[in-house]
């Protein structure tokens, strides 16, 4: 039996060569015998002619047997390959290949099956990615619709209030100066809330749709926090809180100054408006060579655990009446989360063991 360098069984090519050689030998032997019999059949014995004759018959039989073996083997591999091709045509999964012979056709068949499996895997991955992309697109559309509905709802309150106060002033010319001043001040307060709402919506939209156009630079985070602390120190006694800061020296962060300011401004405003505490704590550590870990907390009443998981949702309010009364838009903490994510960080929130709420997030070092 003929084998190749990879210890394969008899191959079609080798078998065909042997078969061809045997047929050629048979043909040449037949011609020689025939010529020999014609020229010198009287000089040879009948035994020699018989030996030559049966030798030719034997060679022909061997060649025929080899041809039948190769034909059977080829037919078996072709049937297996046909079954596989039908399965491929129907898009079926081929978990295991048929037991092809260890020859050229078997190698080719296994290679085709391997290509088919890789093609199906690539198609499956592409379909899955398309499904994920479609889901993300639909989710974005849903969030935008929800945002639009929420904005419409939130705009109605200040607009209706301003309209009501102005109608009262227009329809009541003899209103007292004190009431007129009060109505004007309330209208102004609602207009400020309306302006803040539009600003927050613009920030959210910019983060989602135009993040690639937001420029980043090296920012001194210490100066931003110090500026916010100075602003808080100027508040009235009933709103002022002590700001305790612990930062590394020369704390430079890679990011957008406006968005970084909005992170700390919204977190401190949230503590001032809702915590009921007297202190704000801002701490930062360099947890590795690439990022800072920052915490912003207070010593107030904290938040019920049922609300913790929703605190970053847009327009989510724990006390809706109090939030609107204090001028909150319901977008501040959502802006904080999106701004942190924009800078490649992550953020979490939890109640402090000693009381109050604490936000923990990371920002990249410049």
65-79 pLDDT tens trace: 776 777 677 777 777
**How confident is the prediction for the chain on average, in pLDDT?**
77
pLDDT exceeds 70 at position 33? no
Domain residue limits, the chain: 12-102, 216-366
pLDDT band at 247 (very low <50, low <70, confident <90, very high): very high
Mean pLDDT of 18-29: 62
Count CB neighbours of 297 within 10 A: 27
**CA-based angle 282:283:285, to the nearest 5?**
155
The closest alpha carbon to 62, from 54, 72, 74, belongs to: 54
pLDDT band at 122 (very low <50, low <70, confident <90, very high): confident
The least confident of 18-22, 136-140, 311-315 is 18-22
The pLDDT of residue 2: 39
Backbone dihedral region for residue 7 (phi beyond 0: left; psi -120 to 50: alpha; all else: beta): left
More confident residue, 297 or 36: 297
pLDDT exceeds 90 at position 11? no
pLDDT band at 300 (very low <50, low <70, confident <90, very high): very high
Q: What is the pTM of this model?
A: 0.55
More confident residue, 135 or 54: 135
Mean pLDDT of 71-93: 71
Is residue 52 a contact partner of residue 35, using CB atoms and an 8 Å limit?
Answer: no
Please tell me which of 9-23, 32-46, 319-333 the model is most confident about, judged by mean pLDDT: 319-333
The pLDDT of residue 34: 56
Mean pLDDT of 331-338: 87
**242-246 and 279-286 as β-strands: parallel, antiparallel, unpaired?**
parallel
The pLDDT of residue 8: 46
User: What's the 3-state SS for the chain?
Assistant: CCCCCCCCCCCHHHHHHHHHHHHHHHHHHHHHHHHHHHHHCCCCCHHHHHHHHHHHHHHHHHHHHHHHHHHHHHHHHHHHHHHHHHHHHCCCCCCCCCCCCCCHHHHHHHHHHHHHHHHHHHHHHHHHHHHHHHHHHHHHHHHHHHHHHHHHHHHHHHHHHHHHHHHHHHHCCCCCHHHHHHHHHHHHHHHHHHHHHHHHHHHHHHHHHCHHHCCCEEEEHHHHHHHHHHHHHCCCCCCCCEEEEECCCCCEEEECHHHHHHHHHHHHHHHHHHHCCCEEEEEEEECCCCEEEEEEEECCCCCCHHHHCCCCCCCCCCCHHHHHHCCCCCCHHHHHHHHHHHCCCCEEEEECCCCCEEEEEEEEEC
pLDDT exceeds 50 at position 1? no
The pLDDT of residue 69: 73
Q: Is 167 exposed, middle or buried (0-12, 13-18, 19+ CB in 10 A)?
A: exposed
The pLDDT of residue 324: 46
pLDDT exceeds 60 at position 45? no
Read off the pLDDT of residues 153-163 as tens digits, 9 standing for 90 and up. 667 777 888 88
The closest alpha carbon to 357, from 345, 366, 365, 348, belongs to: 348
More confident residue, 27 or 343: 343
CATH class label, 216-366? alpha beta
The pLDDT of residue 31: 58
More confident residue, 40 or 66: 66
The pLDDT of residue 187: 87
More confident residue, 358 or 98: 358
Mean pLDDT of 90-97: 65
pLDDT exceeds 70 at position 44? no
């Amino acid at each position: 039996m003929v084998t190749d360098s990879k210890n394969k069984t008899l191959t079609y090519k080798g078998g065909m060569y042997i078969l061809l050689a045997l047929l050629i030998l048979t043909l040449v032997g037949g011609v020689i015998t025939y010529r020999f019999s014609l020229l010198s059949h009287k000089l040879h014995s009948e035994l020699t002619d018989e030996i030559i004759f049966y030798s030719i018959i034997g060679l022909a039989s061997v060649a025929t047997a080899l041809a039948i073996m190769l034909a059977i083997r080829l037919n078996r591999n072709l049937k297996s390959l046909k079954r596989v091709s039908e399965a491929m045509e129907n898009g079926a999964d081929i978990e295991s290949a048929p037991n092809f012979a260890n020859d050229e056709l078997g190698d080719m068949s296994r290679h085709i099956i391997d290509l088919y499996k890789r093609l199906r895997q690539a198609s499956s991955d592409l379909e899955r990615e398309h499904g994920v992309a479609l889901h993300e697109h639909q989710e974005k559309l849903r969030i935008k619709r929800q945002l639009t509905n929420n904005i419409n709802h939130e705009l109605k309150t200040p607009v209706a209030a301003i309209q009501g106060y102005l109608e009262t002033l227009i329809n009541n010319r003899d209103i007292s100066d004190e009431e007129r001043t009060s109505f004007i001040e309330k209208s102004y307060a609602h207009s400020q809330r309306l302006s803040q709402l539009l600003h927050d919506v613009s920030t959210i939209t910019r983060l989602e749709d135009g993040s690639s156009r937001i420029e980043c630079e090296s920012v001194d985070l210490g100066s931003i926090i110090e500026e916010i602390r100075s602003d808080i120190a100027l508040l009235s006694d009933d709103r002022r809180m002590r700001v305790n800061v612990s930062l590394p020296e020369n704390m430079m962060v890679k990011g957008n100054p406006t968005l970084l300011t909005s992170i700390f401004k919204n977190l401190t405003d949230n503590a001032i408006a809702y915590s009921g505490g007297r202190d704000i704590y801002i701490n930062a550590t360099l947890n590795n060579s690439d990022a800072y870990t920052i915490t912003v907390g207070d010593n107030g009443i904290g938040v019920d655990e049922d609300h913790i998981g929703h605190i970053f949702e847009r327009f989510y309010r724990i006390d809706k009446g109090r939030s609107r009364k204090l001028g909150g838009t319901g977008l501040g903490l959502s802006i904080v989360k999106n701004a942190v994510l924009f800078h490649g960080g992550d953020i979490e929130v939890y109640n402090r063991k000693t009381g109050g709420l604490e936000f923990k997030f990371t920002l990249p070092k410049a």
